[in-house]
Amino acid sequence: MSLEELYRYLNWRMNPEDEKARERFWRIVEFFEAISDKLPWGGRVLDVCAGTGIAGTALARATHARLLTVLDARRDDLDAAEEWLRMAGVNLKLETVQGDAKEMATFVDEHDIAVLWGYTMPHFDPFDAVKLFANAALTLSDDGVFLIEDMDRVYWVLYRAGYRRFLVEGRREAHTVASMHEGYDFMRGTFKRGYYLLPGLRKISDVNFHYWDLATQMAIGSVFFREYGLISSDEHKIKGVGDVLYFRGPRKEAAKSTMERPSSSP
């Protein structure tokens, strides 16, 4: 069981051959163009947990970047970044890297903008998030920017909708994917959910989620960046783009000391 198998059954709208994914791409471009005065131009873009590189390509187009690096733990999707660049009419140097975002400063060169797009933060527990922010700070240039698209899951999931033990996650013509609550890890603060393929109830993956609020992410980010803020969906009003956390000016000494600190376990 793996995330690779799960992603084969769920449609995340990031395939450049998918018309709805292409519509999503241009909305992301619109967002980055709308905040272009907050972003470095003509620089180096790093797309973290990139998938196919849909967001990184959009950011590279909006800022006229000269380099795009797409980074993901899964290899399968990375090759699609070239197709996104062709479709968007973007001409730059492309690098594809398979690796762990929590260690990216050890194998990725300096960049000017890093972006984590597509509501990916639940995959990082609080300890992982500290490593993620520290590595982003170490990877970025002195005036670099880190952007995260997310939503406040404490409010929208745990309060408004209510946590659901059983949830239909997606449907296609031949199958349905559903998830079920299967435990909680008090040391990591994560909910464990099993993903099943219907009909037949075949298990395809186990996933651990931490349900982040936005304020906690900004608080962690404030340790590693001099500036932090929120560009809410109510503020930018671009359909298909969520709330976006904005961090600028990495505090590299704080990041270095965090990564050098020995970890402890119970």
| Residue 89 CA, distance from chain mean position | 24
**Strand 67-72, strand 93-98: pairing:** parallel
Domain ranges of the chain: 3-152+211-258, 155-209
Q: How many residues does the chain have?
A: 266
Q: Tens-of-pLDDT digits for all 266 residues of the chain?
A: 456 666 666 666 888 899 999 999 999 999 999 999 999 999 999 999 999 999 999 999 999 999 999 999 988 889 899 999 999 999 999 999 999 999 999 999 999 999 999 999 999 999 999 999 999 999 999 999 999 999 999 999 999 999 999 999 988 878 899 999 999 999 999 999 999 999 988 999 999 999 999 999 999 999 999 999 999 999 999 999 999 999 999 999 999 999 987 765 54
Q: For 145-156, what is each residue's pLDDT tens digit? A: 999 999 999 999
Exposure of 223 in the CB half-sphere (CA atoms within 13 A): 18
From the number of C-beta atoms within 10 Å of its C-beta (0-12, 13-18, 19+), residue 12 rates as middle
Q: pTM of this prediction? A: 0.94
Decide which of 3.40.50.150, 3.40.50.2300, 3.40.50.180, 3.30.160.340 is the CATH code for 3-152+211-258. Answer: 3.40.50.150
Q: For 116-136, what is each residue's pLDDT tens digit? A: 999 999 999 999 999 999 999
